[in-house]
Amino acid sequence: MQSNISLASQIGDYKFDNLLLNAAGIRCATTEELDKILDSDAGGCVTKSATPEPRKGNESPRMKATSMGCINSMGLPNHGLDYYLKFAEANQGKNGKQVILSIAGLSIDQNIEMLKKIQASSFAGLTELNLSCPNIAGKSQVGYDFEAVRDVLTSAFSFFKKPLGLKLPPYFDFNQFDGIAEVLNDFPVTYINVINSIGNGLVVDPETESVVIKPKGGFGGLGGDYVKPTALANVRALRQRLRPEISIIGTGGIKSGKDVFEHVLCGANLVQIGTAFGFDGTPIFERISKELTAIMEKKGYKTLDEFRGKLKTIE
């Protein structure tokens, strides 16, 4: 990697030597997996989205790789908040790496309960509240109910004084972009992470004439190549609408340096890699770093700030 080209970035007061992170949900369920990410070229790690108590998640088969990515309906299997909070407290800032603690309650009350525990803890890093899990049977996504988002944030910021990011579902309409931005701009949100999986996709196996995963009759969240255009649209549209103090993490369809370049061009401060990280493991961070550096070198960019958010439109 060229020493005069920097992949460093920042969210709030938190500095990342590399803008690449894992996405919550893949290869990050155990402390061993999280340690591997912290030992890699990634700028830090994101924990599995925690619920107050451990969960086994949905029945298998609950994930299926496809030619364009994957479909999954995992149902938030995780070791519980205490497990990940203990790891986050012990590893935040170690060797200059950041730990992002991801939480995803099954109700608004559970989210508030976990935020209170985090507020009372010694953890001083970034917390990521998932308002977009599409794979809990019988539950709708809070992120699509803008008044519910306002209620959650009103409750949370009445006591939560640590930096808080929000993982959001994909939005598909300009009215939705306007609506969620109007809510978020009223609160001291540190960052947003867009997008989570595109919910309720369906993959069919024509040989067996069957769906490919068991939960929810085969419906599940899509990740990978399917979602990159939607992810880029969300990064771009929300960067244009949010206060500049609210940073953006771009997530969706990233498997190369070119994909990262596009996310940053649309306005992303950091990126998270999910599906491709699941396929390739931690070596993906070194490879993509080299690919992004080569693109920046070819274009004459030395820092991400030089092209972040500077996507051109056609007159």
CATH fold group of domain 9-58+75-199+224-306: TIM Barrel (3.20.20)
pLDDT digits (tens, 9 = 90+) for 247-301: 999 999 999 999 999 999 999 999 999 999 999 999 999 999 999 999 999 999 9
Domain boundaries, the chain: 9-58+75-199+224-306
Say whether 228 counts as a known binding-site residue.
no
Instruction: For residue 179, say whether it is annotated as part of any ligand binding site.
Output: no
Question: 74 among the known binding-site residues?
Answer: yes
Q: Is 70 a catalytic residue?
A: no
Q: pTM for the whole thing? A: 0.96
The tens digit of pLDDT for each residue in 48-84 reads 999 999 999 999 999 999 999 999 999 999 999 999 9
Surface-to-core class of residue 89, CB atoms within 10 Å of its CB (0-12 exposed, 13-18 middle, 19+ buried): middle
